[in-house]
Amino acid sequence: MTVYSKKITMHTNKKIDFVRITNLVRQAVKESGVQDGIALINPMHITASVFINDNESGLIEDFQNWLEKLAPKNFDYRHHKTGEDNGFSHLWRTIMGRETVVSVQNFELELGKWEEIFYGEFDGCRDKKILIKVLGE
């Protein structure tokens, strides 16, 4: 069994951003040489998410509006009593999920017709890592 790991650095210029990373993951799968297996994509930070959905700008705006309704940015979170100001970003990460796993077949990601892999940044403007781990034969 092959186990291939790659860490990539993300740095967004916005505090909140949604970045399509499908091609970065595809590249890691090619580098791994895995024909049949899985790819784990994990943002290694508590205020970021990796998820799969449609690459449609209206939907991305809908995500942001929905998250704002569920956990508003301008709310007096108990977390802020520790000196932080990003309570919402931890909640957004929990809502959108931590990581995703995608099947690999014939050296390619097995994604549905409209599926894309996204990095959700909820407390950006600084370097963060994403771990891509590909396992298989």
Torsions phi, psi for 106 (to 5 deg): 55, 40
Give the torsion sign (CA, 11, 131, 95, 83).
negative
What is the per-residue pLDDT across 20-78, written as a single tens digit (0 to 9) for each? 999 999 999 999 999 999 999 999 999 999 999 999 999 999 999 999 999 999 999 99
| Residues 118 and 10: beta-carbon distance below 8 Å | no
How many folded domains does the chain comprise?
1
Give the pLDDT confidence score for residue 107 in this predicted structure: 97
What pTM was computed for the model? 0.95
Q: What does the pLDDT look like over 28-44, one tens digit per residue?
A: 999 999 999 999 999 99
Phi, psi for residue 27 in degrees, rounded to 5:
-60, -45
Q: For position 81, which CATH number holds?
A: 2.60.120.460
Residue 27 belongs to what domain range?
Answer: 2-136
Condensed to tens digits (0 to 9), the pLDDT of residues 81-97 reads: 999 999 999 999 999 99
